[in-house]
Amino acid sequence: MQRRIRPYGDKTDDGVIQMSFTLPVPAGPRAREAARLLLEREMGMKDVKIASMEGIATDYTYFVAYASTQASLDYDAVDVPIVKTPNYGFTGVNQRIESELKRHIIVVGGNNGFDSHTVGIDAIINMKGFSGDYGLERYPWFRAFNLGAQLKDDEFLDRAVEVNADAVLVSKVVTQRDIHKEDALGLIQRAKDRGLRDRFIFVIGGPRLTHKEGLEWGFDAGFGPGTKPSDVASYLADEVIRRARGRQR
């Protein structure tokens, strides 16, 4: 069964979208018409309403517009990889590790490259955690090392080897000019070069990241905004247990 969907404004399938943008021309009737044509003729929108036009600098005009799109999409055909582990919660995760793995899970976490943002990785690792959800340091069955930011790739990997980590947690926050991607790919490449890629579970996270991107960039998982430490702990518990079982066989 196909289920085609369109944006919802005021009624089913009306396709209404709200937009704002700037054109590099002075405000006036011609600018207004240009904005309308851009949406209607060039972008194929219907029912274009230029709600507001305002000159915001010499030669720049800001528009707010509403219009409807005829485009629609088969929702059932949308395929997006998601981290499949349910959230077991703090107690659930610990019980699982205690009964099924019977040893600590060891992780190192940090932010490589020149990115100096630590709050994201702190939220996952530090005691305090994030929005009422305890960080990995608080889990009796985790041993977590927070290495901070501005890490060199080798420094990061050396620490992972040194503490015999199960997983490497990477946080990337600055995304301008795809610097986060470059840093992420760089780390994976370095791990491959050193023969370490398969030794650790590599997890990436950050405000502009998805699981899909994580997989595409060669990580085992990716986590986006609003991630709770218990989401990551649950995933790691399952994955480490799965790998341990694989090895036994």
List the catalytic residues: 128
Query: Is residue 203 a contact point for ligand B12 (CB under 6 A)?
Result: yes
Considering only the stretches 40-48, 56-64, 167-175, 212-220, report the one whose residues sit in contact with ligand B12 under the rule CB under 6 A: 167-175
When the beta carbons of 96 and 159 are compared against other proteins, the nearer one is: 159
When the beta carbons of 45 and 97 are compared against ligand B12, the nearer one is: 97
**Structure tokens belonging to residue 115:** 């990115």
The one-letter amino acid at 88: Y
Considering only the stretches 7-15, 74-82, 92-100, 110-118, report the one whose residues sit in contact with ligand B12 under the rule CB under 6 A: 110-118
- How many other CB atoms are found less than 10 A from the CB of residue 9? 14
How far apart, in whole angstroms, are the C-alpha atoms of residue 108 and residue 165?
Answer: 7
Strands 105-110 and 142-146: parallel
Burial class (CB in 10 A: 0-12, 13-18, 19+), 222: buried
Query: Is residue 230 a contact point for other proteins (CB under 8 A)?
Result: no
Name the minimum Å distance from CB 218 to other proteins.
23
How far apart, in whole angstroms, are the C-alpha atoms of residue 55 and residue 179?
Answer: 34
Q: Which residues contact 220 (CB under 8 A, 6 or more apart)?
A: 201, 202, 203, 214, 239
Contact pattern for ligand B12 over residues 60 through 99, marking x by CB under 6 A = ----------------------------------------
Which residue is associated with the tokens 């089913």? 12
Site for other proteins in 195-214 (CB under 8 A): 207
Query: Is residue 107 a contact point for ligand B12 (CB under 6 A)?
Result: no
Name the minimum Å distance from CB 217 to other proteins.
19
